[in-house]
Amino acid sequence: MSKRILVCASALAGFSPHGVLAFDPLMAMRDISGTAAPLPRMSSSCEFGTLGDPLTLREAVERSLCSNPKTREAWANVKEQAAAVGVARAAFLPTVQGNWQGVRDDSLTDVSNHPNLSSETLATVRSESVSLSWTLYDFGARSAALANASALLAALKATQDATLQTTFINVSKDYYAAQAAAGALSAANDVERMAADSMKAAQARVDKGIAPISDALQSQTAHEQAAVSLIKARGALKTAIGTLASDMDLSPNVPLQLPVVNSGAQPDAAFSESIDDLLDAVRRTHPAVLAAQAQLDAALAKVKQTRAEGLPSFSLVSKYSRNNQPASLGLGVPEYPATGHEWYVGFQLTIPFFEGFGRVYKVQQAEAQAEQQRDALNEAQQQAGLDVWTAYQTLETSTDTVRSDAALLDIARRSFSASERRYQVGVGNILELLNAQSALANAEQQHVQALTDWRAARLRLAGSLGRLDFDNVRKQ
């Protein structure tokens, strides 16, 4: 029984026990998501446990979409505008207003030289009234206002989608940057180990008298350089991990474990659609373009609304009131208790004859805003096309780069192995070995960076097309 009372009280207050808006008689909030990240195939309801080990890209994206301040702000803006749609719908319904007044009336009238005309009143007077007003026709002002509010809601929903896409891309970029930093640290460890082995081999040859002391010094220099690079790689990894943790609204010092770079998607054919088809589609379907189009629709509706507000309106009005004001037959006559009743119903025509030319300028202002939104739509279409073109070319370049870097890494590994064997048997020299070692270190780091850049480019192109969802993450 107490639970039923709680639910009823929550409904009357407008909220359920769980904090979700429940009382929505005009159905303005029915299409609003319950979380800040309403993406398709979202696996969580923005409730998370402990961090994954290793942390997957999908989990990082979900945590960021739910916790990022920008996505939550966009969600709040959508809910606010949905309520504005409800306000616009409410304008089609009648308004009923009640009024109650209770006063203590203490009045004295003293007529000089005519005490028989004097009077004194001491009474408690109450009055109650209920009035109704219902606009029946207003030349489309309310319809235009509703169209304006609905278009703004569509714009904010599209803006929310664009915000989610942008956050999706940014956290993916930071994830891959952290993964690349981890790969670079692993490569720096390998380089330091190889430099240590080369230093030991050079020192052994110097001790045997078959190599000059300069070989040992050069190998020691290379080892120290590798050690410095290792220290820098550790610092870069900590910075990248802190950035990724901050994206997920976690403390930057939270330890994160990421998969190795070589696990996951590998280069293959990118998008099967031609760039011309992609450019044509993105100018019509990208969230930023849809938001700009909705803003233009809202501005055009605002022009109609502004014009209609300067036209007559026709309303139904009604009122019922009663009071207990005392009555008197005249001066000097005692007042007697009485009750009064009043009721009327009728129609009211309101005609704004003159507004000081303000309406003219309001219409001109609304038309200028519509022109501005039309230009903003054109700008959004151009920017969406440019983003797709840039992302497409970046992906093609990244795909070719990964393949070339893989071949370069294979050659560098074989070259270092050959140089190491030549030096150990006394055929090669220290410069040949150190050059091969440096080339291998550079090739490993380039391969790690190229692979992470390629994966980020895939998601960036999907985001530029407005098609980014968790299927893209699964393929990664």
Give yes or no for residue 333 having a pLDDT over 90: no
The whole-model pTM stands at 0.74
Q: Which CATH superfamily is domain 61-93+140-311+359-476 in?
A: Outer membrane efflux proteins (OEP) (1.20.1600.10)
Binning pLDDT at 50, 70 and 90, where does residue 11 land?
very low
The alpha carbons of the chain give a radius of gyration, in whole angstroms, of 38
For residues 322-338, give the mean pLDDT.
72
Q: What is the pLDDT of residue 16?
A: 41
Question: Count of alpha carbons within 13 Å of 266, Cβ hemisphere only?
Answer: 4
Binning pLDDT at 50, 70 and 90, where does residue 265 land?
low
Q: What is the pLDDT of residue 31?
A: 83
Give yes or no for residue 473 having a pLDDT over 90: no
Give yes or no for residue 8 having a pLDDT over 70: no
Q: For 76-107, how does the pLDDT look when each residue is reduced to its tens digit (9 = 90+)?
A: 999 999 999 999 999 999 999 999 988 887 77
User: CA of 9: how far to CAs of 1, 5, 20, 451, in Å?
Assistant: 12, 6, 14, 57
Q: What is the pLDDT of residue 244?
A: 93
Name residue 317's beta-bridge partners.
133, 346
Binning pLDDT at 50, 70 and 90, where does residue 270 land?
very low
Give yes or no for residue 185 having a pLDDT over 80: yes
Binning pLDDT at 50, 70 and 90, where does residue 5 land?
very low
Binning pLDDT at 50, 70 and 90, where does residue 44 land?
low
Q: What is the pLDDT of residue 4?
A: 38
For residues 175-196, give the mean pLDDT.
88
Give yes or no for residue 329 having a pLDDT over 90: no
**What residue ranges do the domains of the chain occupy?**
61-93+140-311+359-476, 96-137+312-351
Binning pLDDT at 50, 70 and 90, where does residue 264 land?
low
Q: For 149-182, how does the pLDDT look when each residue is reduced to its tens digit (9 = 90+)?
A: 999 999 999 999 888 888 888 888 899 889 889 8
Give yes or no for residue 382 having a pLDDT over 60: yes
Contacts of 204 (CB under 8 A, 6+ apart): none
Q: For 207-230, how does the pLDDT look when each residue is reduced to its tens digit (9 = 90+)?
A: 888 878 888 888 888 889 889 989
Buried b (16+ CB within 10 A) or exposed e, 50-83: ebeeebbbbbbbbbbbbbbebbbebbebbeebbb
Give yes or no for residue 454 having a pLDDT over 80: yes
Share of the chain above pLDDT 70, in %: 87
Give yes or no for residue 12 having a pLDDT over 70: no
Name residue 123's beta-bridge partners.
105
Give yes or no for residue 444 having a pLDDT over 80: yes
**Residues 58, 43: contact at Cβ < 8 Å?**
yes
